[in-house]
Structure 1
């Protein structure tokens, strides 16, 4: 049975919780204080048998640094998610979208190498368990409007503004 650690950090957007495996890899994260909510997003093959509250180590430091304005702090944090081949690839591609340079869903689909897969790209955003570290908030509708976001549109707007200016 595998054990993971979770921790909640206070951010300008409220509580942010991450679930991290024994190797320091993010399994799930988001602006919530509910570890159960996050665990429900983890693919069954990765879901830990036990989760204990503890020190997030480098992941917690990255969360704090990002919210304080060091936008690149999240870039090298390891993440593990499981799904089909396209979705896993799409999540990797999403990590290459730079802070302050959001893309449209069609632009995101194009970056994945499948320009016609706009709905599949949107699905990758919707099923992303590792919010912030896999920055689905950086994807917008074609008309520039926000679209959806699991943690609410005010959170998405704050993140985009934060990344555009580098300030809190």
Structure 2
């Protein structure tokens, strides 16, 4: 079980957030980790925009660029994007509400090549009326591919609502092979 991390209060030392920037098949990739595990996997078009998003996400953190461990993690994540069947079993530093963490844990249980609708995901976590909140938790996910919110579709099976763009969502699902509904 992953725990919620608190932002340091004034007077406390800033937590180091070590990161590396690179490229993958989906564009620019930023991977960041704290002493507790991966805390951000960001995708985008411009590396500087990803760096700015990391600064915004961790305003109290001490950002350390080019860390050797972060470079290794970057290579692992880029390889996983290329070949999802490799798996990505790395420690995660999940930062979110208890509800978001329930959603993120349920997302991690969806195997590659399978999908759920937002409504089905809400049912799985025992909150069938919380479809919008589930969608909000997916949108708040800062760990692309490690928390596979790209595997959640609209009820009609259509692609929508991916934080890093619908084209990247489609590309990730295509890389995972034939998409099928996740069995109940």
TM-based fold match above 0.5: yes
Q: Does 1:27 align with 2:39?
A: yes
Partner of 2:4: none
* Map of 1:50 onto structure 2: 63
Runs of 4+ aligned structure 1 residues displaced above 6 Å come to: none
Structure of higher CA gyration radius = 2
CA deviation string 1:20-79 (max 9, x = no partner) = 1135x111112132222134245x7xx5233322222552242132123143422x2122
The 1:67–1:148 alpha-carbon spacing in structure 2 relative to 1, beyond 3 Å, is: same
The root-mean-square deviation of aligned C-alpha atoms, in Å, is 2.1
From 89, 98, 101, the counterpart of 1:85: 98
Q: TM-score, with normalisation over the residues of structure 2?
A: 0.78
TM-score normalised by structure 1 residue count? 0.85
> Structure 2 unaligned runs (5+)?
1-13, 179-184
Q: Which runs of 5+ in 1 are unaligned?
A: none
Question: How many angstroms does 1:88 deviate by?
Answer: 1.4
Distance 1:73 1:65 in 2: 10
